Amino acid sequence: MASGLYMSVRRRVHEIVAVAGPGDTLSRVFDVSIIALILLNVAAMIFESVAVIREAMGSAFTAFEYISVIIFSLEYLFRIWSCVEDPRYAHPVFGRLRFARTPLALVDLLAVLPFYLPFVRMDLRMLRILRIMRIARLAKLGRYSDSLQTLGRVVGTKKEQLISTVFILLILLVIASCLMYYAEHDTQPDSFSSIPVAMWWAVTTLTTVGYGDVLPVTLIGRLMGAVIAVLGIGMFALPTGILGAGFVEEMERRKQSRCCPHCGKELPK
Amino acid sequence: MASGLYMSVRRRVHEIVAVAGPGDTLSRVFDVSIIALILLNVAAMIFESVAVIREAMGSAFTAFEYISVIIFSLEYLFRIWSCVEDPRYAHPVFGRLRFARTPLALVDLLAVLPFYLPFVRMDLRMLRILRIMRIARLAKLGRYSDSLQTLGRVVGTKKEQLISTVFILLILLVIASCLMYYAEHDTQPDSFSSIPVAMWWAVTTLTTVGYGDVLPVTLIGRLMGAVIAVLGIGMFALPTGILGAGFVEEMERRKQSRCCPHCGKELPK
Amino acid sequence: MASGLYMSVRRRVHEIVAVAGPGDTLSRVFDVSIIALILLNVAAMIFESVAVIREAMGSAFTAFEYISVIIFSLEYLFRIWSCVEDPRYAHPVFGRLRFARTPLALVDLLAVLPFYLPFVRMDLRMLRILRIMRIARLAKLGRYSDSLQTLGRVVGTKKEQLISTVFILLILLVIASCLMYYAEHDTQPDSFSSIPVAMWWAVTTLTTVGYGDVLPVTLIGRLMGAVIAVLGIGMFALPTGILGAGFVEEMERRKQSRCCPHCGKELPK
Amino acid sequence: MASGLYMSVRRRVHEIVAVAGPGDTLSRVFDVSIIALILLNVAAMIFESVAVIREAMGSAFTAFEYISVIIFSLEYLFRIWSCVEDPRYAHPVFGRLRFARTPLALVDLLAVLPFYLPFVRMDLRMLRILRIMRIARLAKLGRYSDSLQTLGRVVGTKKEQLISTVFILLILLVIASCLMYYAEHDTQPDSFSSIPVAMWWAVTTLTTVGYGDVLPVTLIGRLMGAVIAVLGIGMFALPTGILGAGFVEEMERRKQSRCCPHCGKELPK
């Protein structure tokens, strides 16, 4: 009997901590509350960095921090405890360990772990940034989860081509910064003191950010700078073209689930 | 008889204030005049801000302001009075209220309302910017209304994906500015005084604007800045790819109203 | 007989000044020489602006200028004289006038006219920039004329949508600069002295150029600046998406001249 | 017998220096080692430019340089010696000469040649940048070679259109810098001292880099600057649209190897 009660409580807890099924108000409230708490944590981290606000409300931030860690810790424990209800993680020990190794569970752990490690206490504030990754949960619920998953799927399909683009960007970066170093080092030994520093210029130019803190001034340096800036356009055109084709492909894949406009039969996916 | 005259006058006024039908010269003149007056109001607002022009022609601007408000107010009243000619707003009270709640009518009201509210008189000039929204009327007439509506439809179809992109941009923004704050705060306590200030840097980098007023100078800060600048390319590629696919989709939708090239039968839309 | 000789000389001159037919070496040499002379004129204009070069070689530039104008003038007269060989401009007076009104002939005239007008002699150098427009002739010959015409056709097909984008850009520009003026004018009366000056900031932000000479510093100004910078991404995505769909359309139009892959019959264009 | 041994050794050497076949571990190890050595050379060139590192580890860099050149030279000689195993380069003299003229072999030679030429010894460090081009070998092996070749093929297909875009960019650049020179030269004789200097501004604006070191300040200069910045958007949209259509085309070419969704028969490529 007690075991039956224990089982049904665990099943209910599992339902609540998982993405809410239709009509399950309590689970829905839980999902929304956790997301809200994550967002509040991010907001607290941002506003606490403002000296004026930190001085005025320092203790409130500390209290909120403690409360958040307690809630996130309990939530994590509930997830680990109840995950065995999921057939994939049914084994009481190995199932739970496998569940704890899933990316979402790892992120949940990292979001609270720094608080319990005294030797990193001094860097605690910085590590709270890990909590923003918990926002990945948002991709599982809400109105925009479909669109987010579409974006993710398109980027995933084109992953190899996008990585190739980054690879080309890196090669260009090294060539550009080496050439620029040899062109400008003698004229501006401070601005172009070494190739790694010239790389900073090359990144800001190839991405067309163009801060203007490091600049070529020699004729040959400006000529090469012009060529690199124009190649920077190509560094935009490649990934944009790749993703554009990816979105067209995605669009056509969806269309193909409809019937053939010629013969009325359903088309194979 | 008087009522018949009243009705026919109201019908004519309704024709004039509505988008001109073909061959209705007076209505056409009215449409063009109102658009011209809106554009002149915008121009007046722009030029009045120049100190030299304001001092030389201050009274002319005030006179033009009074005249404009009178014309816009009359136009608004005529629209409200005659809208009952439209079957959708036929009821003399509720029809008019429903009409007054349409976006275009609300904008028309907001364009003159501030002038009549004494307590906002001091901010009057700023609120005149609402008048530029009246330019939305332009989307209903003229050669380019088709194109504008196409743009609007494509953006509308892809709204959810574009909002998801903005959502990803916001997440990146928060992560980038937090990391940058912790990397640069000790070295540049003035430039990166708080996370909200670091966000300003992150926005100008992720959008590749790159003003150069706030800059990372540490090695780790520049490394992260380079990664964020490259991710900024992705922030261009995603919406561009989405809209590109949207325009291809729109193009194909138009083509589908033609006949099937294989069997000659008309294709279903 | 004399008339016959006159006619055959005129026909030959017309062949030479027109785009070279296959195997017509003299006409080909003429085409290439004129393009080379135009490019040399542009190069001369660029290098003459450098003080060091101008002082060293001033008289050479003047001599080259005289020679160029003489050659371009003779070329123009030959074109006008021989154009009646073209059936479209056959009438000796009205045909020639109609020919002189074509864009290419007008540009040819404008490239030499300033030299003969004494009252604009002082601005002569600046007006030489009109000669660069003669480079439009390049689009008629050479390996890349096909590609250039494809680009022109795609941009032409999407002209209305692109103009609509520019229209949206202008509206955004006015709204952004007005808002920014009211937000920053009190804090930075010098940088944001008037709305037209704020427009300069808005242009550099919406196009993501971001010089950094004018910058928002207030909280509200930076918030609006961030939103405008993000909208600037949209201002890239719209025309890119439009042109992307245009190029896909062009690609499909070319493909349609092939046979139907299903039934082997030729597809209608 | 000796000749047979010589032949089989040469065949084995040829197998090792060529891209590894499946299961050929030694050849695989050789490929990876050479790529690793190239990357180490690039890294050494980058880090040697940092004064602190150079002073601390100068002799280590020199030693690494000697070892690298010896290995690269031996590799080059082995490639030349064994290339006759390839039927395309079978002739002992002319085959080897033809092989030595292939781009990859030329790059391999240029990567070591400067070391053996005493009169360029002083520029040796700069010429080492040629070694980074050896990284082109990477495109022949590894997981991403497919994606890199797809990128190369799409860019290759659209080469003429992309060159036309660069041509349009150059025309715009010349026009923009000439106009800007005449507009700003009198007000800022230092910043816009000549048209070539104005071109530097024009490049940074048309590519939307926007360093902000050279800026228009006159009304007419800013108006033209605004137009040029907007045209810069078009300079992004054209190549992006071209490449986008190229990737869609590539995608469709791949799809066409599948069966027809209507009749189930295989479609012709």
Q: Model confidence over D190-216: pLDDT tens digits?
A: 889 999 999 999 999 999 999 989 999
Helix, strand, coil: what percent of chain A each, to 5? 80, 0, 20
What sign does the dihedral D98-D104-D110-D111 (CA atoms) show?
negative
Crossing angle for the helix pair A219-255 and D195-206, to the nearest 10 degrees: 20
Please compute the mean of the pLDDT values over residues C199-205 and round it to a whole number. Answer: 94
What pLDDT does C118 receive? 66
Phi, psi of D86 (to 5 degrees): -80, 125
The nearest CA of chain C is from the CA of A140 a distance in Å of 26
**Residue of B242, B249, B252, B265 to mutate when probing chain A, most A C-beta within 10 A:** B242
Q: List per-residue pLDDT tens for chain B, 269 residues long.
A: 577 888 889 999 988 888 777 788 888 889 889 888 988 988 988 898 898 998 998 889 889 988 998 999 999 999 999 989 888 998 889 999 999 998 888 888 888 887 787 665 555 566 677 777 777 777 666 667 888 888 999 999 999 999 999 989 998 999 899 889 989 999 999 889 999 999 999 999 999 999 989 999 999 999 999 999 999 999 999 999 999 999 999 988 887 655 454 554 554 44
pLDDT of residue C151: 92
Share of chain A above pLDDT 90, in %: 41
pLDDT at B73: 92
DSSP alpha helix (H) spans, chain B:
2-17, 25-48, 51-82, 94-100, 103-116, 124-127, 145-157, 159-184, 195-206, 219-255
* Partner residue opposite A213 with nearest CB, options B165, B167, B215: B215
In this predicted structure, the answer to whether residue C69 has a pLDDT above a threshold of 50 is yes
Nearest alpha-carbon partner for A153 in A167, A165, A139, A137: A139
D104: left (phi over 0), alpha (psi -120 to 50) or beta: alpha
* Residue A258: per-residue pLDDT: 54
Amino acid at the residue C158: K
The pLDDT-based confidence of A75 (bands split at 50, 70, 90) is very high
**Tokens 């090669």 sit at which residue?**
A171
Cβ atoms of residues C111 and C133 within 8 Å: yes
Q: What percent of chain D has pLDDT over 70?
A: 88
Mean pLDDT of A255-266: 55
Q: How many CA atoms lie within 13 A of A186 on its CB side?
A: 7
Whole-number Cα distances in Å, D207 to A257, B159, C67: 42, 29, 36
Rounded to 5 degrees, φ, ψ at C147 are: -65, -45
> Closest residue of B to A250, CA-based?
B245
| Cβ separation C42–D233 shorter than 8 A | no
Contact partners for chain D, using 3 or more CB pairs closer than 8 A, are: A, B, C
Q: What does residue C259 show for φ and ψ, rounded to 5 degrees? A: -85, 160
What's the mean per-residue pLDDT of chain C? 85
Q: Which helix (H) or strand (E) holds A235?
A: helix A219-255
Q: Are A171 and D240 inside 8 Å of each other by CB? A: no
User: For residues D50 and D64, is the Cβ–Cβ distance under 8 A?
Assistant: no
B-interface mutation test, from C195, C197, C235, most B Cβ less than 10 A away = C195
Q: What number of other Cβ atoms are within 10 A of residue C153's Cβ? A: 13
Which residue from C6, C1, C5 is spatially nearest to C81, judged by alpha carbons?
Answer: C6
Residues whose CB falls within 8 Å of the CB of residue B129, separated by 6 or more in sequence, listed in order: B45, C175, C178, C179, C182
Kindly determine whether residue C229 and residue B46, on different chains, have CB atoms separated by under 8 Å.
Answer: no
**Is the sign of the CA dihedral D87, D91, D92, D96 positive or negative?**
negative
Pick from D30, D9, D8: nearest CA to D18? D30
Q: Which residue of A has its CA nearest to B264?
A: A262
Question: SS3 of D259, please?
Answer: strand
The shortest CB-CB distance from B247 to any of C181, C199, C242 is to: C242
Give the ranges where D83-218 is alpha helix by DSSP (H): 94-100, 103-116, 124-127, 145-157, 159-184, 195-206
Q: State the Cα–Cα distance between residues D75 and D69, nearest whole angstrom.
A: 10
Which residue in the block uniquely carries the two structure tokens 């896909």? C248
Residue A222's CB is within 10 A of a number of other CB atoms, namely 20
* Residue A46 to residue A19: CA distance in whole angstroms: 28
**What pLDDT shows up at residue D75?**
92
Task: Taking the CA atoms of A149, A152, A158 and A160 in sequence, report the sign of the dihedral they define.
Answer: negative
Domain spanning A1-133 has what CATH number? 1.20.120.350
Q: Which of A234, A241, A260 sits opposite D244 (nearest CB)?
A: A241
Residue to mutate among D224, D238, D252, with most C CBs inside 10 A, is: D238
- Quick one: pLDDT at residue A268? 47
Burial A79-107 (b: 16+ CB within 10 A, else e): bbebbbbeeebeeeeebbeebbeeeebeb
Work out the pLDDT band at A269, boundaries 50, 70, 90: very low
pLDDT band at residue C233 under the 50/70/90 scheme: very high
Nearest to C204, CA basis, from D184, B211, D187: B211
What's the pLDDT at A259? 47
- Look up the ipTM and state it: 0.86
Could you give the CA distance from residue C167 to residue C161 in angstroms, rounded to a whole number?
A: 10
Q: What is the 3-state secondary structure (H, E, C) of A191-233?
A: CCCCHHHHHHHHHHHHCCCCCCCCCCCCHHHHHHHHHHHHHHH
**Distance (Å) from the C-alpha of residue D144 to the closest C-alpha of chain C?**
26
Distance CA B94, CA B101 (A): 11
Contact D241 C236 (CB under 8 A): no
Give the residue-averaged pLDDT of C110-119: 77
**Percent of chain A surpassing pLDDT 70:** 88
Residue C98 phi/psi, 5° resolution?
Answer: -60, -40
- Three-state DSSP string of D192-246: CCCHHHHHHHHHHHHCCCCCCCCCCCCHHHHHHHHHHHHHHHHHHHHHHHHHHHH
DSSP β-bridge partners for residue A259: A266
State residue C148's pLDDT score.
86
Distance (Å, rounded) from C-alpha C60 to C-alpha B77? 73
Q: Which of D246, D245, D239, D254 is nearest to D156 (CA)?
A: D246
Beta-bridge partner residues of C259: C266
Which two three-digit tokens encode residue D204?
A: 């940074």
Question: Does the pLDDT at position D121 exceed 60?
Answer: no
CA distance B160 to chain C (A): 15
Give pLDDT tens digits for D242-258.
Answer: 999 999 999 888 876 55
CA angle, A187 as apex, A183 and A191 as ends, to 5°?
A: 85
One-letter amino acid identity for C159? Answer: K
Q: Is B266 helix (H, G, I), strand (E, B) or coil?
A: strand
Nearest Cβ partner of B244 from A46, A204, A244? A244
The Cα D22–Cα D9 span in angstroms is 20
Q: How far apart, in whole angstroms, are the C-alpha atoms of residue B19 and residue B137? A: 9
Using CB atoms within 10 Å of the CB of residue B191, give its burial: 0 to 12 exposed, 13 to 18 middle, 19+ buried.
Answer: middle
Q: With CB atoms and an 8 Å threshold, state whether C169 touches D230.
A: yes
Q: Angle at the Cα of D152 (from D168 to D256), degrees rounded to 5?
A: 105
On the question of pLDDT at A108 being above 90, the answer is no
Of the candidate CATH numbers 3.20.190.10, 2.40.160.20, 3.40.50.2300, 1.10.287.70, the domain formed by A139-269 belongs to: 1.10.287.70
With cut-offs at 50, 70 and 90, classify the pLDDT of residue C268: very low
3-state secondary structure of D266: strand
CA distance linking residue D154 with residue D142, whole number of Å:
20
Domain residue spans of chain B: 1-133, 139-269
CA D172-D174-D179 angle, 5° bins:
95
**pLDDT tens, position by position, D139-174:** 666 667 888 888 999 999 999 999 999 989 998 999
Residue A266 sits at φ, ψ, to 5 deg, of -75, 135
DSSP label at C132? G
Residue contact B144–C165, C-beta within 8 A: no
Asked whether A154 and A241 are in contact (CB, 8 A), the reply is: no
> Nearest Cα to C76, choosing from C42, C44, C99, C45?
C99
Q: Which residues pair with B259 in a beta bridge?
A: B266
* Residue in B45, B148, B243 nearest the CB of C164: B148
**How far is CA D206 from each of CA A177, B90, D124, D177, D255, rounded to the nearest angstrom?**
22, 54, 36, 11, 37
Q: Is residue C261 scored above 80 in pLDDT?
A: no
Give the integer Cα–Cα distance in Å for C145 and B45.
47
* C-beta of residue B208 within 8 angstroms of C-beta of residue A209: yes
How many other C-beta atoms can be found within 10 angstroms of the C-beta atom of residue D156?
Answer: 12
**Cβ proximity of A89 and A105 under 8 Å:** no
Cα separation values, B22 from B36, B135, D104, Å? 20, 22, 69
A42-56, C124-138, C160-174, D171-185: the lowest-pLDDT one:
C124-138
- Rg of chain B over Cα atoms, rounded to whole angstroms, equals 26
